[in-house]
Amino acid sequence: MGGATIVPAVETSFTVNGQTVHMALDPRESLLDVLRERLGLTGTKKGCDQGQCGACTVHLDGRRIVACLMPAVQANGRAVATIEGVASPDGVLHPLQEAFIEHDALQCGYCTPGQVMSGLACIAEGHVGSDAEIREYMSGNLCRCGAYAGIVAAVRQAGRSGI
Amino acid sequence: MTAAAARPRVDARAKVTGAARYGTDRTPEGLAYAAMAVATVGKGRVVEIDTAAAAAVAGVRLVLTRFEASELKPPVYIMAGGHAVQSLQPLLSDHIAYRGQPIALVVADTPVAATEAANRVCARYEAAPFALELDDEDAEKLRQPEALPVPALADIAVGDAEAVFAGSEVRVDEVYDHPKQAATPMELLGCVVEWRGDTVVVHEGTQNAGALRNGLALQLGIDPADVEVISPYLGGGFGQKNSLQPHLGPVALAARRLGRPVKFVMTRPQTFHQGSFRPASRHRVRLGADGNGRLTAAIYEVDQETSRHDLFPAMYTEAMSRLYGVPNFSGPTRLVRVDTQTPGYMRAPFESPASFAFESAVDELAYAVGRDPVALRLANDTGTDPITGQPFSSRHVAECLRRGAERFGWAARDPAPGSMRADDGSLIGWGVAIGAYPACVAPAIAHVRAGADGRVVVAVDGHEMGQGIRSAITFLVADDLGIAVDRVTVDIGDTRVAPQHLTAGSWGTASALPAVHAALRELRARLGVAETGMLDVGAAVAAAGQPTVEAEAATLGPGQPPEMLDRSRAGKVAFTGPVYPGFTSFSFVAHFVEVRIEATTRRVRVPRVVSVVDCGRVASAVTAASQVRGGVVWGLGAALREASEPERRYGGFFNATMEEYVISVNADIGEIEVDFIDEPDPLLNPVGVKGLGEVALVGVVPAVTNAVFHATGQRLRRVPITIADLL
């Protein structure tokens, strides 16, 4: 075994929910760990850390990504949006969050932030033409409690209300 | 307006905003991060372990490979009267019992450093041969009544099943295989542990904060009063988080040694090799019947895996012996030791695999006698527990079948296999199955505090893992007192407010609600108000001349001795049922499934399911319906996708990621229609509730496989059914 690597930190700056952050980051740190462990934004969940479950879905420049597979330094100069920024600052929920509640589109709630972030992107991408299309484009987000029917109903409702 | 819009899950807002805090969402000041290195052989001994490279990683603070038994006592297995998911405590010796067993714990300043250091731990092993499956040569087979000689685990036997079966007019005799499965809750196993003086505070997603508190105290040799376990939300449990995990003791010791809080999040692949899992099981079912399909005898033999170091009790026959009024029943059960971590309870742990076998056999009987599968089931219904001769406290499975058949449109079914086709050429199959799950009860202590501001705070035993217990308790209080839901706060999963007995076995709501109900009666007595009816809480408290009025109540299951409360306070399992003095209690369900099998690819799709449940009174309509849909989703996964494959070369499990252990995704799931009988159980408790979360899954798997038979004429006796089975 060789000696341990010393990895120089990389100065990084990006916005999270509109606020600018500057940090010196180990280039191996995932965006997920930076959000959760350094920025205290624990709404974004770790379900596999391998890009397979979708629990850590956030938006990068408006597109959905899994934060566990993105080195945080790659977010340099870009805009990150997380579940904490979806409701308005005065606490008014986004229509998709309301729709999740109205259709009980959750149980344990652990995958829910990722589902909401994916649902927002699914709507923005225009993939709400049919239930089958919603199901297909929401299939990157696993839900072990099995709340899928409610999730489809919530995305359909919010998607068709023209947000 | 949806039902959920009218009365939503009470913690839904916290969950859709990311505000709900799960165990490892805590980031206290000075936090350090732990990671584990694990054994890469299937069994054997660590000969040499090199930690120099790990220790040299920048930011690493501790590399621990061995604890002394004086500082970390081995725990006692939960089913041997202790607190732990298994008796084997890693890091106490050089013995490797299974692949994936931890061999080192590293703690570092960052998750990246901890992960790198764990990867740099290098061990040399003396490998030994291992057994992984029921048929392996070294897999030791034990008759359960001899291995675990306690009355509750005696083989069930009534009448003379062998003789009556031998003389029966119609006989079914088949063997069914069920694979190992992984619970895979979305929240990873893990914890945040922080010492505050002599007190250790544990944040961990658990169904059993009481066991963590008392078990950790015993392992560390400290007073349980010095352990606080806080678990207000779990990101799913499904049985995997039902007791003290082997990581907690080492992480707590590391935190104490370092003088810093420590967070440990197990990697997803490690959860497959360390978390408890549903063991593989083999089921031989022999049914004897008359020419009309009236059951006369059932002999149900089961082999189930356990680990080399623990005996995981197998209870497949308990519910299956009560599905029908079979007068002669025997259920010889064997345990088979393999070299894995101790397997355990995974949602409907026995009843789901058992129903696959038993309800497949009943379907085979229906075809053998040429009788409609619903009619045959109705003809075998009973109001009497055939094992004890007692009445069931409530049993509406016949109504579940009748209502489900009507909603599903069962009358239009052509019984001939392969007879129904869709316009696109797909084969259509309609299948039915019923399920039962014991209605058990655990001791619970509820504390209610009413304020002059009109608010009510309830503290009680219970853990919220998504089943909706927080909602059910809130609604009970709001409806009992006639106050708004937002006036009620519920504290659960916290050892600072109640013992926190294990929440599992679908007894959570049936245990917590009676305690809260009793505490509300006591509160009303202290306020000097009527026993029932609307109450102006604020005015009543003000009239008592105090800022708050408090009341407490402890409840037990029917016939349970008060000592069981002491067992609960000691963090031990203390439930009772389903056989009570004078009656027997089960929840029941009927599932109807349509499969469509694509003509060329033979891919199986499930466009619709109808499930009707008898769980007593429905305590929380919206969360209950979600729980049933979730159970159906689990069943579709079990029937068509899920299997944990043994890794024959290196030990342990082959498909140990969420990509390769295939659970249902959104696109796999079609319409799921749920209905409830909603008749209060008159005997089990004053609230009238039985259990729900597990019975929802029981019977889904055979409803699917029976539908596949109806579609194709192929009787498949091994799940999951894959395309390869149907080509």
Nearest CA in chain A to B674: A149
Whether the Cβ atoms of residue B473 and residue B490 lie closer than 8 Å to each other: yes
User: Binning pLDDT at 50, 70 and 90, where does residue A1 land?
Assistant: very low
Q: Average pLDDT, stretch A44-65? A: 98
Do the strands B32-38 and B262-265 form a parallel or antiparallel pair, or are they unpaired? parallel
Neighbouring residues of B43: CB distance < 8 A, sequence distance ≥ 6: B96, B97, B98, B99, B127, B128, B129, B130, B339, B651
Q: How many Cα atoms within 13 Å fall on the side-chain side of residue B176?
A: 31
Q: Which two three-digit tokens encode residue A121? A: 């992107």
Name chain B contacts of A111, Cβ cutoff 8 Å: 186, 235
Q: Which residues of B touch A148 (CB under 8 A)?
A: 633, 664-666, 669
Q: What is the 3-state secondary structure (H, E, C) of B668-711?
A: HCCEEEEEECCCCCCCCCCCCECCCCCCCCCCHHHHHHHHHHHH
pLDDT of residue B513: 97
H/E stretch holding B96 reads strand B95-96
Chain centroid to Cα B282, Å, comes to: 20
Residue among B8, B17, B268 whose CB faces A87 most closely: B17
Cβ pair B663:A116 closer than 8 A = no
pLDDT for A161 equals: 78
Across the interface, do B120 and A4 touch by the CB < 8 Å criterion?
yes
Can you tell me the distance from the alpha carbon of A44 to that of A70, in angstroms, rounded to the nearest whole number?
14
**Predicted local confidence at residue B1, as pLDDT:** 79
User: How large is the ipTM?
Assistant: 0.97
Q: A78 to chain B, minimum CA–CA distance in Å? A: 22
Please give the average pLDDT of every successive group of 10 residues along chain B, which has 727 residues: 90 98 97 98 98 97 97 98 98 98 98 97 98 97 98 96 98 98 98 98 98 98 98 98 98 98 98 98 98 98 98 98 98 98 98 98 98 98 98 98 98 98 97 98 98 97 97 97 97 97 95 98 97 95 96 97 97 97 98 97 97 96 96 98 97 97 98 98 96 98 98 98 95
Whether residue B162 contacts residue B288, with contact meaning beta carbons closer than 8 Å, is answered with no
CA B542 to each of CA A75, B539, B625: distance values in angstroms, whole numbers, following the listed order = 57, 5, 39
Structure tokens at B606: 């499930």
SS3 B28: coil
Are the Cβ atoms of B31 and A37 closer than 8 angstroms? yes
Token pair 């009497």: residue: B384
Whole-number Å distance between alpha carbons of B239 and B504? 7
C-alpha torsion sign, points A99, A102, A103, A107? positive
> Pick from B341, B492, B448: which is nearest to B10 by CA?
B492
Chosen from A46, A68, A73, A82 to mutate, greatest number of chain B CBs within 10 A: A46
**Taking the alpha carbons of A101, A107, A109, A113 in that order, is the dihedral positive or negative?**
negative
What's this model's pTM, rounded to 2 decimal places?
0.97
From chain B, the residues in CB contact with A112 under 8 A are 15-16
pLDDT in tens, B150-178: 999 999 999 999 999 999 999 999 999 99
Quick one: which H or E segment has residue B477? Answer: helix B469-481
Within its chain, how far is the Cα of A153 from the centroid? 19
Contact A42 B25 (CB under 8 A): yes
Neighbours of B543 (CB within 10 A): 14
- Decide the pairing of beta strands B427-438 and B586-597: antiparallel
pLDDT digits (tens, 9 = 90+) for B232-259: 999 999 999 999 999 999 999 999 999 9
Cβ <8 Å between B17 and A33: no
- 3 state SS of B116: helix
CA distance B352 to chain A (A): 16
Instruction: Tell me the backbone φ, ψ of residue A117, rounded to 5 degrees.
Output: -65, -40
Task: Find, in chain A, the residue whose alpha carbon is nearest to that of B50.
Answer: A1
Which of chain A's residues have a Cβ under 8 Å away from the Cβ of B27? 36-37, 40, 42
Residues, chain B: 727
Summarised one tens digit per residue, pLDDT across range B445-460 is: 999 999 999 999 999 9
- Cβ contacts (< 8 Å) between B2 and chain A: which residues? 102-104
Q: Could you give the count of Cα atoms lying within 13 Å of B722 in the half-sphere of its Cβ?
A: 6
CB-CB contact of B598 with B620 (8 Å): no
Q: Are B574 and B567 in contact (CB under 8 A)?
A: yes
Q: Are strands B140-143 and B60-64 parallel, antiparallel or unpaired?
A: unpaired
| B15 vs A3, A46, A109: nearest CB | A109
For residue A5, the model assigns a pLDDT of 59
pLDDT-based confidence at residue A4 (cuts at 50, 70, 90): low
The C-alpha atoms of residue A34 and residue A14 are separated, in whole angstroms, by 12
Is A163 a residue whose pLDDT tops 80?
no
Alpha-carbon torsion B258, B260, B261, B264, what sign?
negative
3-state per-residue secondary structure call for chain A: CCCCCCCCCEEEEEEECCEEEEEEECCCCEHHHHHHHHCCCCCCCCCCCCCCCCCCEEEECCEEEEHHHCEHHHHCCCEEECHHHCCCCCCCCCHHHHHHHHCCCCCCCCCHHHHHHHHHHHHHCCCCCCHHHHHHHCCCCCCCCCCHHHHHHHHHHHHHCCC
**Of residues B123, B127, B47, B46, the one with CA closest to residue B649:** B127
Of B2, B21, B634, the CB nearest to A146: B634
Measured at the CA of B203, the angle between CA B201 and CA B204, to 5 degrees, comes to 135
What 3-state DSSP class applies to B383?
coil
What one-character-per-residue DSSP string does B145-165 give?
HHHS--GGGSPPEES-HHHHH
Q: Secondary structure of B509-578 in the HEC alphabet?
A: HHHHHHHHHHHHHHHHHHHCCCCCCCCCHHHHHHHCCCCEEEEEEEECCCCCCCHHHHHHHCCCCCCECC
Q: Which domains does chain B have, with CATH numbers?
A: 14-128+186-236+241-274 (3.30.365.10), 141-181+278-439+582-726 (3.30.365.10), 441-566 (3.30.365.10)
Q: How far apart are CA B258 and CA B249, in angstroms?
A: 14
Round to whole Å and give the CA distance between B625 and B613: 10
What was the pLDDT predicted at A2? 44
DSSP, res B105: E
Return the sign of the alpha-carbon dihedral for residues A66, A72, A78, A80: positive
The reply to whether residue A47 touches residue B658, judged by beta carbons under 8 angstroms, is yes
In this predicted structure, the answer to whether residue A3 has a pLDDT above a threshold of 70 is no
Residue B471 CA to residue B623 CA, distance in Å, equals: 8
Cα–Cα distance measured from residue B634 to residue B701, given in angstroms and rounded to the nearest whole number: 9
- The residue written with tokens 């504290």 in the block is B491
Strand partners, B608: B594, B671
Provide DSSP, B579-598: EETTEE-EEEEEEEEEEEE-
Domains, in order of start, for chain A: 10-85 (3.10.20.30), 95-160 (1.10.150.120)
Distance, in Å, from the CA atom of B634 to the CA atom of B645, rounded to the nearest integer, reads: 18
For B108, residues 6+ apart whose C-beta sits below 8 A from its C-beta are B32, B33, B35, B57, B59, B60, B61, B114, B117
